[in-house]
Amino acid sequence: MKTITTGCALSLGLLMSTAQAASQEIRATFRPDPSQPSKNIFINQTPNSGYCAAYPGQCADNAMFSIQLPVRFTSNGAIKPHWGVGLKVPANWRQLTVTNADTQETEIVEVRIIGIGSNYVLSDPAHELAGVSDVLEGHQSLWDGSSWVYASTPCQYSGVGAYTPISYRFFWKAPVEAYCTKKTRFGIPSMYFDTLDFAYELRTPNPLGMSSGLYTGSMDYSVGNGGDFDIGGGFRPDDDSLTLDFVLDVQHTLKIDLPPGGNNVTLEPEGGWARWINSGRKPNRIFRDQPFHISASSRFKVMLLCNSPGNNICRLGSPKGNSTEILVSMTLPPGITHSGGLEVVRLPLRNNNWIGPFQPGLYLDRKPGAIHFEMMPRVIEDFLRPGMNDRLRGNVTVIWDSEA
C-alpha cells in the first residue's frame, strides 16, 4: 500500500493600509502543538510596541498586548483648572469578516480594545505648574486622584508610570466603552499626547474547521472628538482614522506514518496458513489489518486507487490468470468523525471515489488507525480449491488530502 500525505496552513495577519490614515497589522497563527493537542487557538504574532515593549512583565501579568502608533493629540489651547481630559476606546466587541483568498471561504473575527495609554508632554514642568519642588509630587499634585499611573474610573490601574519634569507615560485598562476623565487642579498653558498606545483582545474562529491559506480582513476606527478613539473635545489628533488589517495564518498538519514495511501487505488467515496446510480446514477469513498513525488538525478526505481495471472493488491477480476481489475499509482513531458526527469504524473505501470530509474534534498527534484488507467470503471457497497453487498481487493506493 502506498500513501500520500499532505499538509496545510492557516495564517492570521494584518495588512498595511495604503489610505491616508494610521494603520497597523495584527497577525496571529494557528500551528498544532503536539505537546498541547487540545489547544486549538491562534497565537498572536504581532510584536508588542509602546507600553508592553517597555514593561513586558506588567503586560505578561495582565495578559495584554499593546500597539504604539505615531498619532499625536494636541490641545487646542490652554487647559484651565478643573477641566477634564477624557479618554475613550472601542472596548465593546466588534466583528469583521476575514476571507481566504484561495477558497473565498469566510470566517468571523471579533476584536475589542482593552487598554489605552500614551505619554503626555506639558508646556512647563509639572512641579512648576503645581507650585511644588519635587518632580513626582508635581505630577501627583497637578491632577485629581494623583498622577496618571492611577486611572480614573471606569478605567483601571495597569501597573507602571514613568516621568520626566514635563512628561508622564501611563497605560490604563479599559474594561468598558466609556470616558475615563482626569481633572486638572492647576492651569496648563498647553500639552499633547505624543502617541496612541492601545491594548487589544481577539476572538478567532475554531481553526480546525478552516481550510488552509490566508484569511484577511480589516476594521476601521474613527479617531478624534466623538470618535472611537478619543482624548476629549479639547484635543485634536493628527490622524482622523485608524485601520487594523488582520491576517489569520493557519498551518494545519496531516501526516500518515506507516510502520517499517507497512507498504507491503500480506493477506492470510488469522494465525497464518499452518492450520489450513496441516488440517485442510478452510479459514473463514483471509485478511490483514494494516495499522498506521495519523496526525491531523483539520478536515481531510480519502480516496482509494486500484491498479486493477473494472468497478469500484480492487482485485488481486497473477500471470496465471487467477484473480480475486478484496474489500478495503478504514478505521480512524476516536476524535475524528465522518458525516453526522459518526466515528469511523471499518468504513468501506471505493476505487477512484473520494470520501469525507473527516473532521478532527481536536488536534490528534500520532493516534492509531488501520486500513483493513479482506477477501470477500464468497470467493474463499473457490480460491482454496484443490490444486490451487498461486500468488496473487496488486497495488492499492490510499490518498489523504487535507483540502477536503
**pLDDT of amino acid 310:** 62
Does one domain contain both 216 and 265? no
Are 244 and 123 contained in the same domain? yes
Tell me, what DSSP letter sits at residue 340?
A: G
Summarised one tens digit per residue, pLDDT across range 335-375 is: 999 988 899 999 999 999 999 999 998 899 999 999 999 99
Does residue 247 sit in the same domain as residue 261? no
Query: Cis link prior to 154 (omega < 30° from 0)?
Result: yes
Identify the domain containing residue 127 by its residue range. 13-251
- pTM value is 0.75
Sign of the alpha-carbon dihedral angle for 361, 362, 368, 370: positive
pLDDT for residue 12: 27
Report the pLDDT averaged over residues 188-203: 94
pLDDT tens-place string over residues 72-84: 999 999 999 999 9
Q: In the structure, what pLDDT confidence band is assigned to residue 283 with cuts at 50, 70 and 90? A: confident
Q: What pLDDT sits at residue 115?
A: 93
pLDDT 10s digits, 389-400: 788 899 999 999
Is 106 within a domain?
yes
pLDDT digits (tens, 9 = 90+) for 141-195: 999 999 999 999 999 998 878 999 999 999 999 999 999 999 999 999 999 999 9
- Is 25 inside any structural domain? yes
Alpha carbon 85 to chain centroid, angstroms = 38
Express each pLDDT in 103-153 by its tens digit: 899 999 999 999 999 999 999 999 999 999 999 999 999 999 999 999 999
Residue 4 lies in a domain: no
Q: Give 404's pLDDT tier (boundaries 50, 70, 90).
A: low
Q: Are residues 366 and 242 in the same domain?
A: no
- The whole-number average pLDDT for the span 57-72 is 85
Q: Which of 210, 230, 251 marks a domain boundary?
A: 251
Per DSSP, which regions of 41-81 are E strands?
43-44, 66-69, 73-75
Cis (ω within 30 of 0) for the bond into 357? yes
Lowest mean pLDDT among 36-40, 130-134, 249-253, 368-372: 36-40
Last residue of a domain, one of 190, 216, 251: 251
Whether the predicted pLDDT of 9 surpasses 50 = no
Tell me the CATH number at 289: 2.60.40
Angle, CA 339 vertex, CA 352 and CA 210 arms, to 5° = 90
Higher pLDDT, 234 or 98: 98
Pairwise CA distance, residues 155 & 101, whole Å: 39
370 and 235 within one domain? no
Beta-carbon-side half-sphere exposure of residue 350 (alpha carbons within 13 Å): 6
Helices in 178-331 by DSSP H: which ranges? Answer: 274-279
Contact 331, 348 (CB under 8 A): no
For residue 53 the three cell numbers come to 515593549
Average pLDDT over residues 287-309: 91
